[in-house]
Amino acid sequence: MKQVKTTDRKSAFRGDRYDRAEGWFRRCGRSGIKLPAVSLGCWHNFGGDGTGASGIKAAKPFHDNCRAMLRAAFDHGITHFDLANNYGPPYGGAEERVGLILAEDFKAHRHELVISTKAGYDMWPGPYGDFGSRKYLLTSLDESLKRLRLDYADIFYHHRPDDETPIEETMGALDSAIRAGKALYCGISNYSGAQTKKAVEACEAGGLFKPIIHQPYYNMFGRDIEGDLLPVTTKAGIGTIAFCPLAQGMLTAKYLKGIPKDSRAASDSEFLKEDAIKEATMKKVRALDAMARDRGQSLAQMVLAWTVRPGGVTSALIGASRPEQVVENAKALEKPSFAADELKRIDTILKG
């Protein structure tokens, strides 16, 4: 990635950034760390110039937009930025860009941030750039820290389960990262309830640092973890941060009137295609949007508040393509409570 020169840089952030709604910062499981109710995922919109859903192609405006999103997040109490080794595109691109912005704007605020990264999906050719071996995980973390321009990650995750590598080796690699001072905490992602239980048991048997956080797919359209994973994480004292809480934008007002040109569904993204925007789904989204308006908030705000309602989820991990989305979503906990009849209304809408 080419160095991008920016102008008119201001180092100061808002002095009221921690004046948040009650319950904004919540303890992650039984660990000492607290996470904001909404965290920012630096996935598909922080990679190479012109990639992602922002529609911005030129290098400097693209970089400035990424910078503005991170600054807007921090200004509104979002202190957790989430990455992975293969986020981009290209692989490593998001870590490089975020690393540059951290060095430019956040150097004096490193102690106020939680920066997480992951390894577990394919990253480089050959047998050592994928899955869950000690070789891959620790090598990948070293490379991630170089791209991020950091001495340590606050949380280092194994990104997906690997049934061919002994769980003791994978958890041992995460433990080694912590003992070497290259990570403060460790986590896991995409593990089932049974796989999470095995990971915890391996850590307890080996005297290893246990994961403090699990990052699963969870939203109103995908609720499998409620019966499978959350009982395990709750018992083990592991926090949970939900990725895709807005279902790639489907649980926002973005697609209520069709497919905008600057949306993910209209882009070349492999993760959300136009044919996924089905009328039956949109009928539910329109009903949820009406309910959100009854509550005096946007659909995205209501969905995020629902995601982190009492019941096990510590934080909702949002994506964004412009800073205005970050600001809107940061207001999710201004109306956090749901009456019993409201929760019933949501369940009725989702059942169709």
**Residue 305 falls inside a structural domain:** yes
Quote the pTM value.
Answer: 0.93
Give the integer Cα–Cα distance in Å for 265 and 190. Answer: 24
Q: What is the pLDDT of residues 286-299, one digit of tens each?
A: 999 999 999 999 99
Residue 4: is its pLDDT beyond 70? no
For residue 208 the two structure tokens come to 């290893």
Compute the average pLDDT of residues 60-74.
Answer: 98
Phi, psi (5° rounding) for residue 315?
-150, 150
Structural domain boundaries enclosing 122: 25-253+299-336
**Residue 263 falls inside a structural domain:** no
**Residue 190 falls inside a structural domain:** yes
Compute the average pLDDT of residues 243-261.
Answer: 83
Phi, psi (5° rounding) for residue 115?
-110, 120
Phi, psi (5° rounding) for residue 38?
-120, 125
How many structural domains compose the chain? 1
Question: What's the number of CA atoms in the CB half-sphere (13 Å) around residue 98?
Answer: 34
pLDDT of residue 7: 40
Q: How many CB atoms lie within 10 A of CB 235?
A: 10
**Residue 55 falls inside a structural domain:** yes
Q: What is the pLDDT of residues 210-239, one digit of tens each?
A: 999 999 999 999 999 999 999 999 999 999
Q: What is the pLDDT of residues 5-54, one digit of tens each?
A: 444 455 699 999 999 999 999 999 999 999 999 999 999 999 999 999 99
CATH of the domain at 48: 3.20.20.100
**Residue 90 falls inside a structural domain:** yes
**Residue 246 falls inside a structural domain:** yes
**Residue 6 falls inside a structural domain:** no
Give the integer Cα–Cα distance in Å for 214 and 229. Answer: 9
**Residue 225 falls inside a structural domain:** yes
